[in-house]
Amino acid sequence: MRKVTLAKNAGFCFGVKRAVDEAIKTQREYNKKIYTLGPLIHNNDVVNYLEDNDIYAIDINDIENLNSGDVILIRSHGVSKEVFDLLTDKGLIVINATCPFVTNIQKKVNKFSNEGYKIVILGDKNHPEVIGINGWCNNEAIVTKDGKIIEDLPNKVCVVSQTTEKEENWNITINNLNNKVSELKQFNTICAATEERQSSVLELSKTVDFMIIVGGKNSSNTTKLYEIAKENCKNTIHIENAKELPQSLIDDSSINTIGVTAGASTPDWIIKEVIEVMEGK
């Protein structure tokens, strides 16, 4: 009998659930089309669900087409101070659904850059969360993807992390900075939900024949879960939903134990569907 095990911590995190709930609530409150700046979350199924509820993602360049009184929602990744000011100056009704953990990072970099610290961000320079954080310190942060820092640094440095980073990358970053800087303010801002998902997948992937990681292909935290699982279980795949499950896997009776986890932007119903297909229900 095939056994399918869901990781202890999987799926929607607090910040993402809060943003989705806020979007639905806002649309009902204003009872008209509302907009999100960029896709609300990195999950195509959820984006389609939101469109069915009259909630549409737009690009920053589309802002000029909006009118005073239109409603726009800032997603959980947050935005730069410049973008925030642009939205309010245009007379839009701005609903700020930035994850509180991300807001905390924005406040920290703003405070310490104003106090003369050079800001270092561990993360992906192209990720909206990192772009937003950098926008709270005049876009002057050094962004490192892997903890290696080749730039010359002043004596005073403040370092933070993208919320979905790996703990090992944070440790590398701190070791490198300690060797270069005399005064280091360090704030490990990897979100607890990220740590919990990563440690859960680490444990589960050591005990199963096959791992299925469910989440958006462009979701940073889901990709990290895939990388961690793959290190321990070479039979690991990353899918967006049950439709992407290979038929060969569904039919393979030699695979007895399957582990499933999901990124922070994957809703419960998508996870449930994947488990049911793999259990043969």
The annotation places the binding site for isopentenyl diphosphate at: 42, 77, 127, 219-221, 265
Q: Render pLDDT for 201-217 as a digit per residue (tens, 0 to 9).
A: 999 999 999 999 999 99
Q: Please give the residue that has the higher pLDDT: either 163 or 44.
A: 163
pLDDT confidence band for 1 (50 / 70 / 90): confident
Q: Render pLDDT for 92-106 as a digit per residue (tens, 0 to 9).
A: 999 999 999 999 999
How many separate domains does the chain show?
3
Judge whether residue 109 has pLDDT over 90: yes
Q: Render pLDDT for 164-203 as a digit per residue (tens, 0 to 9).
A: 998 999 999 999 999 999 999 999 999 988 899 999 999 9
Alpha helices by DSSP H, 40-150: 44-52, 81-89, 100-114, 128-134
CATH number where 39 lies: 3.40.50.11270
Same domain, 46 and 107: no
Domain end marker among 160, 190, 220: 190
CATH number where 132 lies: 3.40.1010.20
Token pair of 101, please? Answer: 């953990």
- Verify whether residue 129 is a known catalytic residue: yes
* Residue 89: burial class (beta carbons within 10 Å; 0-12, 13-18, 19+): exposed
| C-alpha dihedral sign at 273, 21, 130, 44 | positive
Same domain, 116 and 80: no
Domain end marker among 37, 66, 99: 99
Domain end marker among 33, 68, 99: 99
The annotation places the binding site at: 13, 42, 77, 99, 127, 163, 191, 219-221, 265
Looking at residue 44, its pLDDT comes to 86
Looking at residue 150, its pLDDT comes to 87
The annotation places the binding site for [4Fe-4S] cluster at: 13, 99, 191
Taking residues 72-79, what's their average pLDDT? 95
Compute the C-alpha angle 126/39/272, nearest 5°. Answer: 110
Domain with 27, as residue range(s), is 14-99
pTM of the predicted model as reported, rounded to 2 decimal places: 0.85
Catalytic residue among 22, 64, 129, 240: 129
Same domain, 180 and 215: no
